[in-house]
């Protein structure tokens, strides 16, 4: 019932995407929820941590950019409730993108015994023909420098764009291109004490 109520509140593009994923990717309807995030609008969320096949994950990625569903103005925000499933999806779609560029076989492999994260970041910059310093090391992650996309804000990236290559290279290597995904804390709800009328 709650799923139905959320679907009624969804924007048409998000609900159309949800229905397409159910039909095309054999994702059970109860695993796809439309959630409303205050500032971000509607987000399509894969619920739970039950496994999905590689075929289903590939289908999700293709459906999200299907020309019969999506334009530049109607991209649907999409996420996973389960972190392990999200990381597997990210790695798989990133590797698929590099493969379609003909670059997957040349992707550098990180060996923590032989190099530092900073050294690996420099190798990924060379791999993508990106400017030095585009990648930033942050604790145990490598991410894209803040503000790197500002110059391209209104221009879709070219197929061989270094920034697009870096997003895919980081995802395929198990890193978070835009920084670690924050864990949303459970809100604390304080129940006020009952007010007793003055005697």
Over its length of 199 residues, how does the chain's per-residue pLDDT go in tens digits? 233 333 333 455 888 899 999 999 999 999 999 887 766 678 889 999 999 999 999 999 889 888 888 766 667 888 899 999 999 999 999 999 899 889 999 999 999 999 999 999 999 999 999 999 999 999 899 999 988 877 665 555 565 689 989 999 999 999 999 887 544 333 334 444 444 444 4
- Please name the residues in contact with 193: beta carbons below 8 A apart, sequence gap of 6 or more: none
**What region does 67 belong to: left with phi over 0, alpha with psi -120 to 50, or beta?**
alpha
DSSP 15-39: HHHHHHHHHHH---GGGEEEEEETT
Extended strands (E) in 39-128: 41-46, 78-80
């Amino acid at each position: 019932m709650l799923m139905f109520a959320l679907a009624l509140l969804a924007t048409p593009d998000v609900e159309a995407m949800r229905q397409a994923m159910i039909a095309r990717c054999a994702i059970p309807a109860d695993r796809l929820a439309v959630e409303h995030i205050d500032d971000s609008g509607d987000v399509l969320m894969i619920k739970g941590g039950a496994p999905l096949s590689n075929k289903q994950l590939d289908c999700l990625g293709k459906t999200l950019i299907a020309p019969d569903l999506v334009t530049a103005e109607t991209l649907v925000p999409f996420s996973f409730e389960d972190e392990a499933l999200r990381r597997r999806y990210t790695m798989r779609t990133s590797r698929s993108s590099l493969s379609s560029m003909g670059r997957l076989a040349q992707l550098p492999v990180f060996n923590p015994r032989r190099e530092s994260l900073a050294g690996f970041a420099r190798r990924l910059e060379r791999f993508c023909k990106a400017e030095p310093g585009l990648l930033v090391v942050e604790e145990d992650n490598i991410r894209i420098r803040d503000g790197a996309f500002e110059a391209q804000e209104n221009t879709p990236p070219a197929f061989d764009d270094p920034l697009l290559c870096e997003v895919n290279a980081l995802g395929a290597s198990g890193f978070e291109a835009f920084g670690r995904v924050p864990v949303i804390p459970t809100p604390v709800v304080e129940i006020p004490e009952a007010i007793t009328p003055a005697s």
